[in-house]
Chains A and B, each alone.
Chain A
Amino acid sequence: MIDYLSILLYVQIGLASVCLYRIIKGPTIPDRMVGIDIFGILVVGICAIISVQTGKSFILDIGIAWIILSFIGTLTLAKYLTGKKLNQ
């Protein structure tokens, strides 16, 4: 059973590195931001599968913190793209 879970973990890590391809090769700046956003969501899945595999629950805390930091970062970058100040 644990081997099947390891296969799922490797597949998820591979999907996260597919997003790195889009971050490196994206033709425009918003393409790279899309890659960063999707990468942040996929890392949460990696944290969840590792917490099942090791049986420790503090790794889910890392996942929740990663969600919130990725959300704030993406909102800031989107505000930068519109060309306005941060308090407008």
Chain B
Amino acid sequence: MKTVSLIFITIGILFNLLGCIGIIRLPDTYNRLQAATKCVTLGCCSILLGVCFHFGFSDAALKALVAIPILFFSSTTAAHALIRGTYHFGVKLGKKSVKDDYREAVK
């Protein structure tokens, strides 16, 4: 069981690493938010699942299991609201972006 939990925690940290590379390297605010939110949410859910496997049947495992849906729904909702606010704030798209469907939807 300890080995399974370590494997899950390692997978989660690899996803977090991909997200943090995205938050440094990508050229645009929208690209950064899209890459970072998906990868980091999945990585932290995987870490919490590993913690749940580590503790077995106890109160700590229940807390970790409750934290997974809270993290999943709250972070995706916050990212959606944040990217909508970013668009209304007036941040331009990057130079390599070719299509902007949301502008026609707002009109």
Contact = CB atoms under 8 A, between A and B. Distances in A.
B85 A41 contact: no
A44 B60 CA distance: 14
Contacts, number: 148
Secondary structure at the A interface, as helix, strand, loop or mixed, is: helix
Contacts of A29: 89
B89 A64 contact: no
Interface string A57-70: 10011011001101
Interface residues of A, number: 46
Contacts of A37: 37, 75, 78-79, 82
A19 B55 CA distance: 30
28 contacts: A1-B2, A4-B6, A8-B10, A8-B13, A18-B23, A19-B23, A22-B32, A30-B89, A34-B36, A35-B23, A37-B78, A37-B79, A38-B36, A41-B71, A44-B71, A45-B13, A48-B51, A48-B64, A48-B67, A49-B47, A51-B51, A52-B9, A57-B63, A60-B51, A60-B63, A61-B63, A67-B71, A71-B78
